DNA sequence: CAGTGGTCTAGACCACCCC
DNA sequence: GGGTGGTCTAGACCACTGA
């Protein structure tokens, strides 16, 4: 990687590269230019999992302050191209994992399948005003909430809270599991069994960007503030809203896939953020 | 907003709030604590569009360096809660707009509808290796690319590149528009008309986080590096991949909605990033 | 222990906006 | 102009990792 004279505070202009001065140029920020250089470097000279030089060395090599270099690394980390590990170093990230999002993978109601979701616990409480509004019920009505995580290739990629109004499962008889234990995981399993007896006639989803708060971040094994893709799913049964799922997927490692399991592998094209692909 | 003694470099611990010292506490970073405080403030004391105090004042008020305060604002901006405008100030962002994503909104093939997409131009070129792979064709084959933007409520929320192999429309006769002009917009319109004659039997999508590069960012009226939701759509016709769409939506202002236009309004619940809702 | 990334400071100059 | 956010610097100390 090229070096730059230190203490050069001129904003980088495209004329620096082109000889002829086109005065139209925009003063590209240093960190953005660094990002491009580093991106080319990790694409060509490094491979997945490899450790790149440490921040102090890189900053010195490019003749910038460490903070500036970090701004470039921040971008590349947001794009899922780098992973930074405290005490270890900065690694070239693996391509994002394609994660199918559909009712089937929810393990509900089409049978449990290969256990993509792992229950953590199950709580029952009166609905907060906000939750009640989202579920279309009265505040205070009982809602069961299953908390679970999605594990792919040994890594936790998502957490989910599945909110089920008691009214949804009231008619379905409770299910006795082996022991009489009311332990979290069993409660969750029991609730899911009851849900499987419902006929779900549709679902609609919304996806947006969010950040993981403390608890969620811990489950995802990431620091707080980690960007996540928040998927909100409404499950309809008999024309009514039967349940609401709120899932948060790690944005750095996941590509969410929808629909009829495409014909060809979904390979992103060089728009915005180019990436290679892999399917879970 | 409360003030803090300046030059206090102790890491904020939860014991600061709780009297009894539970030694298990984690030293929460200042910027993360600031984020929480600011979040509460903008939720309770400010309303959409309102300008919050400038960064220098806020930093002084909280007794932190401006860079630290900015770290907190960065988070809130990523969550779509704040909008920063150079020369103006920092504003409380409007709730995210619900943007329907489906074939219908693509204006294809179900008729043009209310013009949610506006063509910019149309180019034809031999496919790059990467694009060819994504389209399942040979590199070098001709591909038509329509570039367009999606405008909602007077604001550009997305850009798209729709890649159509020439083979897809080869059988469909070209369509003459009014004049003989081969201007960009007309070319695009002509291609879209031809596409409408195809029977599309399915599509599959992928959503992931990306950042907008220079050109894209300009179209979205945002600085480079802006986080975007990248939607990759495969359109199938007669069992083959007929076209590939790559759309980038502004992550700060958009909530993507899928599926059978839900029963109730999709209202996010307080997980990860809580938000109010609005539909386009 | 030495080395890494994570946080934080106290300045500085810039580009942009509106008056 | 004066005020705003955007960029950048040159330090510092911390928490975590692994040998």
| Cα torsion through A9, A15, A21, A27, rounded to 10 | -60
Cβ distance A207 to B229 less than 8 Å, yes or no, reads yes
Residue at a domain's end among A92, A125, A146: A92
Residue A20's pLDDT is 36
Residues with CB under 7 A from strand D: A 6-7, 9, 11-12, 29-32, 63-68, 71, 85-88; B 11, 27, 52, 54-57, 66-67, 70, 84-90, 223
B35, B102: one domain? no
CB-based contact A237:B177 (threshold 8 Å):
no
Among A204, A227, A260, select the one facing B262 at the smallest CB separation.
Answer: A204
Examine residue B252 and state whether it is found in any structural domain, yes or no: yes
Examine residue A6 and state whether it is found in any structural domain, yes or no: no
Residue with tokens 């081969």: B182
Residue at a domain's end among B53, B70, B92: B92
Question: A43 or A8, which is more confident?
Answer: A43
B87, B118: one domain? no
Residue B112's pLDDT is 47
Examine residue A71 and state whether it is found in any structural domain, yes or no: yes
Cβ distance A271 to B248 less than 8 Å, yes or no, reads yes
Residue at a domain's end among B58, B73, B92: B92
Listed in sequence order, the residues at least 6 apart from B269 whose beta carbon sits closer than 8 Å to its beta carbon are A130, A131, A134, A161, A163, A232, A244, A246
Instruction: Please determine, for residue A274, whether its predicted confidence score (pLDDT) is greater than 60.
Output: no
Number of neighbouring beta carbons within 10 Å of residue A166:
14
Residue B140's pLDDT is 94
Residue B110's pLDDT is 47
B47, B159: one domain? no
B151, B33: one domain? no
A residues 98-127 closer than 8 Å to B (CB): 98
The count of residues in chain A is: 280
Q: What is the mean pLDDT of residues A98-125?
A: 76
Residue B9's pLDDT is 39
CA distance B59 to A132: 38
Instruction: Please determine, for residue A222, whether its predicted confidence score (pLDDT) is greater than 60.
Output: yes
Give A91 CA → D19 C1' in Å.
20
A107, A204: one domain? yes
Comparing A47-51, A98-102, B134-138, B169-173, the range with the smallest average pLDDT is B169-173
CA distance B76 to B42: 10
Cβ distance A206 to B134 less than 8 Å, yes or no, reads no
**Residue range of the domain that includes A215:** 97-279
Choose from A19-33, A93-107, B100-114, B167-181 the range with maximum mean pLDDT: A93-107
Residues with CB under 7 A from strand C: A 11, 27, 52, 54-57, 66-67, 70, 84-90, 223; B 6-7, 9, 11-12, 29-32, 63-68, 71, 85-88
CA distance B117 to B149: 6
Beta bridge partners of A169: none
Listed in sequence order, the residues at least 6 apart from A93 whose beta carbon sits closer than 8 Å to its beta carbon are A48, A80, A81, A82, A83, A252, A253
Examine residue A58 and state whether it is found in any structural domain, yes or no: yes
Q: Residue B50's domain is classified under what CATH number?
A: 1.10.10.10
* Segments of chain B with pLDDT less than 70: 1-26, 105-114, 174-184, 260-280
| Cα torsion through B223, A55, A225, B45, rounded to 10 | -60
Instruction: Please determine, for residue A114, whether its predicted confidence score (pLDDT) is greater than 70.
Output: no
Nucleotide D8: closest residue by CA–C1':
A68
Residue B170's pLDDT is 82
Radius of gyration of chain B (CA): 24
Q: What is the mean pLDDT of residues A88-112?
A: 80
- Number of domains comprising chain A: 2
Examine residue A88 and state whether it is found in any structural domain, yes or no: yes
Taking the Cβ of residue B262 and every Cβ of chain A, the question of whether any pair is shorter than 8 Å is answered with: yes
Q: Residue A208's domain is classified under what CATH number?
A: 3.40.1410.10
Confidence of residue A59 (pLDDT cuts 50, 70, 90): very high
Residue B60's pLDDT is 97
DSSP B238: T
Q: Helix, strand, or coil here: A134?
A: helix
Q: What is the mean pLDDT of residues A79-102?
A: 95
Question: A101 or B279, which is more confident?
Answer: A101
Q: Which residues of A touch B240 (CB under 8 A)?
A: 263
Phi and psi angles of residue A180, each rounded to the nearest 5 degrees, phi first: -105, 5
Give the full edge-to-edge strand order of the sheet including A240-250. Answer: A117-126, A142-152, A155-165, A240-250, A227-237, A202-211, B254-259, B97-100, B278-279
CA distance B49 to B42: 11
């Amino acid at each position: 990687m090229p070096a730059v004279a230190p203490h050069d505070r001129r904003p980088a202009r495209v004329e620096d590269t082109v000889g002829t001065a086109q005065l139209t140029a925009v003063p590209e920020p240093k960190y953005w230019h660094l990002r491009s250089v580093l991106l080319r470097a990790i694409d060509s000279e490094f491979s997945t999992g490899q450790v790149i030089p440490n921040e102090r060395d890189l900053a010195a090599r490019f003749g910038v302050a460490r903070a500036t270099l970090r701004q470039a690394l921040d971008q590349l980390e947001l794009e899922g191209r780098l992973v930074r590990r405290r005490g270890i170093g900065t690694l070239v990230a693996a391509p994002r994992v394609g994660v199918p999002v559909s009712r089937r993978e929810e393990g509900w109601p089409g049978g449990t399948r290969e256990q993509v979701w792992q229950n953590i616990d199950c709580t029952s409480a009166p609905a907060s005003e906000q939750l009640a509004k989202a579920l279309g019920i009265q505040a205070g009505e009982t809602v069961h909430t299953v908390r679970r995580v999605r594990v792919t290739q040994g890594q936790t990629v998502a957490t989910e809270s599945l909110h089920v109004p008691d009214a949804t499962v009231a008619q379905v008889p409770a299910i006795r599991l082996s022991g009489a234990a009311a332990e979290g995981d069993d409660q969750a399993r029991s609730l899911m069994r009851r849900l499987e007896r419902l006929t779900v006639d549709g679902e609609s989803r919304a996806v947006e960007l969010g950040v993981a708060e403390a608890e969620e971040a811990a489950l995802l094994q990431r620091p707080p503030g980690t960007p996540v893709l928040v998927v909100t799913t409404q499950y309809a049964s008999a024309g009514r809203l039967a349940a609401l799922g709120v899932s948060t997927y790690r944005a750095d490692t996941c590509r969410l896939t929808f629909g009829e399991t495409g014909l060809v592998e979904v390979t992103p094209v060089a728009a915005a953020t180019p990436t290679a692909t892999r399917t879970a």
